[in-house]
Structure 1
Amino acid sequence: MASSELSIGVIFLSLTMIGLLGNFLLLHHYLFVYLSRYRLKSTDWVLMHLIVASILTILCKGVPHTMAAFGLKDFLDDIGCKLFFSFHRLGRGLCIGCTSFLSVFQAIIISPRDSWYSELKIKTHKYSCYVLYMNWAIYFLISSMNLVHMRAIYGNESTANLKSFLYCYAVRHDQTSDIFYAALLTAPDILLLGLMLWASGYMVLTLYRHKQRMQHMPKNNFSSRSSPESKATKTILLLVSTFVSFYTISSLCQLFVTIIYNPSCSLVRVTAMASLFFPTVCPFVLMSRDSRVSSFFLCLKMSKHFHKECNQ
């Protein structure tokens, strides 16, 4: 195995393992809160779905590319190729949907009491369930398109009419069809991305106005209740900016892979790496900004240490 192949395999393996570890730790936290009969906020429900989507993305993109980089090329059959690419598309779509809805719900939560959005505050928890299930249904239908286009290759079969993705292949079409297919897949993404940017702009404006009002008030009149909401809003804004940065890189690479008649192995690998950046970084951004998560793992560590001392 060439040193370059080994390096690529190590990179994919590192992204996969770090991403899965971070997402499963965060998922463990939210499941513990849910099973302990604590009421989850609407944003917590969205975060749980975002974590599941991130795990799905990493498993369906990181694992097969790691195996391919270490020398396993044709380890999937037709069904495996169709399922892996379909579920990756599903996870990727859910990531953008959940991030968009997360920003919208937080914008509603911090909206002033005299605004029109304040009437939706008491209904956000109910609406979050319907919106998340609709998000799953829409992207499940979109991802099912890969069931038609993706396939495996066997033995010395010709790949003249197939586009290589290293371990699976896509049925090659003319460039016009590829552009139409790419536009069809990205239309919901563009809509959700616009919604995300609008909600983020609204949150930034709301925080700015709140800060301006606080500067003209005595310090003893500051509302302590605004601090957690402000911190949660800044966390979501950081998450959104992280997503937009990585999503832009991933989308550009994905666009090139789609419209290029015969994409190179390097481009396919860079596209796969770009799609893993956000799911890998996302849980650590949330854990570093959420004091509840830090307190949970600290208590868990202390309880294990106490239990160990008791058994000695």
Structure 2
Amino acid sequence: MNSRDLAVGIFFMSQTALGMLGNSALLCCFIIADFSGIRAKPTDLIVKHLTWANFTVLFKGIPQTIAAFSQTYYLDYVSCKLLLYFHRVGRGVSLVSTSLLSVFQAITISPSNSKWAQLKIRPPCIIGPSLGLCWALQMLIYAFIPVYITDIRSGRNVTGIKIFEYYAVMNPGRKINTLNAILLTSNDVMYLGLMICASGYMVFILLKHKQKVQHIHRCLAAMSSPETRATQSILTLVSSFVFFYTTSIIITSYLSVLEGTNSWLSNAGVAMAACFPAFCPFLLIRHHTSIFRLCCPSSYQTTFCACVIREL
């Protein structure tokens, strides 16, 4: 085993272990909250689905680690199809769930006189069906993956095959590869844009509210305001989300149209796809019980009276 393979194996092992630990801890937070009788927020259901999707994405790090340490490790015919299929479905659900979380939180903190105010009473009723639709759509979108995925032993007898670390991909041709890349990239970019818009709207609302209560915050100049901390949290989550998923989209699209194989790019694509699922639980755990009450006395006449915001 050379030093490069050793470094790749250690990286994937560390990333997978860290991500599994973070998502397990986040699930434990919800279990403890449920048994403690703490009232769940509607968006908690989204975070639960996001956590399970993260587990599905991170699971691919296990064979990646084994393949890096052992050059003779291959998956069988059924296992490689299921692994690659559910990895892509989990990645898609993770992306969509994070976008939905931003959208529903943006609706929650919208002022009572805005166009979104009438939607505030609907999220508890539509979150469940939205998540169910999310899983169904992602499973349908990536239904073609098992058709082209096969094990290395079977792939040796097929022409036009791409051999990766522990599985093989049948090449349907440049035109179909390009079409698949465009369709899948459009799907990912749409949800990335949705999260950016929703998060930008939240930042705008928080900064606007901060200006209205600026005279209160002058008395607490040494401390950062709730709006500033919430804005920083949103920007941290969004920036990491956009960076990791944009990089993953670019690498995945390039690999799909590449004639040959590139192990370095393949490993980089898997690593980028797992970065956000591995690190986002720690951002969510940090603020799971941290609630900002942006409440103001009636004399200040703001639209955020009795509004409770949980940070991302």
**Shared fold per TM-score greater than 0.5:** yes
Which segment drifts farther, 253-262 or 208-217?
A: 208-217
* 1:205 has 2:204 as partner: yes
Which segment drifts farther, 145-154 or 27-36?
A: 27-36
1:245-281 CA-to-partner distances (Å, cap 9, x unmatched) read 1111111111111110112111111111111111111
Q: Residues 33, 72 of structure 1: CA spacing in aligned structure 2 closer, same or farther, 3 A cutoff?
A: farther
Alignment of 1:1-312 (within 5 A): 1-59=1-59, 61-154=60-153, 157-158=156-157, 160-216=159-215, 227=226, 234-291=232-289
Which sections of structure 1, spanning at least 5 residues, go unmatched? 221-225, 294-312
Aligned equivalents of 1:156, 1:82: Cα separation in 2: 13
Alignment check: 8 A CA contact 1:73 1:166 kept? no
Alignment check: 8 A CA contact 1:102 1:236 kept? no
Alignment check: 8 A CA contact 2:203 2:234 kept? no
Q: Residues 233, 48 of structure 1: CA spacing in aligned structure 2 closer, same or farther, 3 A cutoff?
A: farther
TM-score by length of structure 1 reads 0.85
Alignment check: 8 A CA contact 1:166 1:265 kept? yes
Alignment check: 8 A CA contact 2:155 2:161 kept? no
Hey, what does 1:310 align to over in structure 2?
A: none
Aligned equivalents of 1:282, 1:147: Cα separation in 2: 29
Runs (4+) of structure 1 exceeding 4 A deviation are 216-220, 229-234
The one-letter code matched in structure 1 to 2:237 is: L
Aligned equivalents of 2:30, 2:230: Cα separation in 1: 16
Alignment check: 8 A CA contact 2:188 2:249 kept? no
Q: Residues 218, 194 of structure 1: CA spacing in aligned structure 2 closer, same or farther, 3 A cutoff?
A: closer
Greater relative contact order, per chain length (Cα 8 Å cut-off, separation 6+): 1
Alignment check: 8 A CA contact 1:74 1:168 kept? no
Over aligned residue pairs, what C-alpha RMSD do you find? 2.3
Aligned equivalents of 1:217, 1:19: Cα separation in 2: 40
The one-letter code matched in structure 2 to 1:40 is: A
Alignment check: 8 A CA contact 1:74 1:152 kept? no
Q: Residues 108, 237 of structure 1: CA spacing in aligned structure 2 closer, same or farther, 3 A cutoff?
A: farther
The one-letter code matched in structure 1 to 2:203 is: V
Alignment check: 8 A CA contact 2:248 2:273 kept? yes
How many pairs were matched up? 286
Which sections of structure 2, spanning at least 5 residues, go unmatched? 220-224, 292-312
Aligned equivalents of 1:232, 1:36: Cα separation in 2: 26
Aligned equivalents of 1:35, 1:73: Cα separation in 2: 46
Q: Residues 18, 203 of structure 1: CA spacing in aligned structure 2 closer, same or farther, 3 A cutoff?
A: same
Which segment drifts farther, 195-204 or 8-17?
A: 195-204
The one-letter code matched in structure 1 to 2:264 is: S
Alignment check: 8 A CA contact 2:165 2:263 kept? yes
Q: Residues 51, 156 of structure 1: CA spacing in aligned structure 2 closer, same or farther, 3 A cutoff?
A: closer
The percent identity for this pair of structures is 38
Aligned equivalents of 1:178, 1:49: Cα separation in 2: 30
1:196-233 CA-to-partner distances (Å, cap 9, x unmatched) read 1111111111111111111256979xxxxx95x88566
Higher helix proportion, which one?
1
Q: Residues 173, 154 of structure 1: CA spacing in aligned structure 2 closer, same or farther, 3 A cutoff?
A: same
- SS in structure 2 of the partner of residue 42 of structure 1: coil
TM-score by length of structure 2 reads 0.85
Aligned equivalents of 1:218, 1:70: Cα separation in 2: 55
Q: Residues 130, 236 of structure 1: CA spacing in aligned structure 2 closer, same or farther, 3 A cutoff?
A: farther
Q: Residues 132, 237 of structure 1: CA spacing in aligned structure 2 closer, same or farther, 3 A cutoff?
A: farther
Q: Residues 36, 144 of structure 1: CA spacing in aligned structure 2 closer, same or farther, 3 A cutoff?
A: farther
